Amino acid sequence: MFNKTMNCKTCRDDLQNLLFDPSAPENAAARAHIAACFACAREFAAFESTMSLLDTWEAPEVSPYFDQKLAVRLREEQACPAPGWFERIKTRLLLNTGRQLRPALAGAMALLLIAGGGTVGVTTWQRAQTVPASATVNDLQILVKNEQALQQMDQLLDGDAPSSSTSAPPES
């Protein structure tokens, strides 16, 4: 019948290879097995239909107004931060440098950066609280600064202590 080393298990390991290069000589054994084994043939057909479905899928176009809409959303979020909740995260961020909180710290930093949009952001965040974010130019600058801010966050997370130069406690 078919190749002795090719059984259902080894065949299924080869299915992806077979899918991407059906005519390759090294896939001959798998092809032969599929021709003779109904279960594996069905498995392969399922793979094929999944792949062809993926082929028809197209990533949606990014809206030309994505940046503007994002800026508006940021402004809305700045306008109404959840009271208490934001304060808690800020406190935690400032007081806690323990390693066990690093993941939480990263998340909180990301939130602060998104909301404050600036250099590791508590001071920027506070300014956003006092100055109503009305300038569109400001919002666009936020987007530009995000790259820079993310780099700073990386440095912050890599180091043992938070960088004191970029995130001085606003009140003490």
The position carrying tokens 């069905």 is 42
User: Judged by CB, which is closer to Zn ion: 37, or 153?
Assistant: 37
User: At residue 6, what is the residue type?
Assistant: M
Is residue 109 a contact residue for Zn ion (CB under 5 A)?
no
Judge contact between 29 and 2, C-beta under 8 A. yes
Stretch that binds Zn ion, among 29-37, 54-62, 88-96, 152-160 (CB under 5 A): 29-37
Residue 79: C-alpha distances to residues 115, 118, 144 (Å): 10, 16, 20
Long-range contacts of 97-105 (CB under 8 A, 24+ apart): 97/160, 97/161, 97/162, 102/157, 105/157
Size of the site for Zn ion (CB under 5 A): 3
Q: Which of 8, 46, 79, 150 binds Zn ion (CB under 5 A)?
A: 8
User: Judged by CB, which is closer to Zn ion: 2, or 86?
Assistant: 2
Stretch that binds Zn ion, among 4-12, 97-105, 110-118, 119-127 (CB under 5 A): 4-12
H helices present in the chain, as ranges: 8-20, 28-36, 38-56, 66-79, 85-95, 102-116, 122-130, 136-158
Stretch that binds Zn ion, among 8-16, 79-87, 122-130, 155-163 (CB under 5 A): 8-16
* Cα separation, 157 vs 67, whole angstroms: 28
* φ and ψ at residue 18, rounded to 5 degrees: -65, -35
Is residue 37 a contact residue for Zn ion (CB under 5 A)?
yes
Q: Which of 15, 30, 40, 112 binds Zn ion (CB under 5 A)?
A: 40
Is residue 18 a contact residue for Zn ion (CB under 5 A)?
no
Stretch that binds Zn ion, among 1-9, 14-22, 67-75, 80-88 (CB under 5 A): 1-9
The residues binding Zn ion (CB under 5 A) are 8, 37, 40
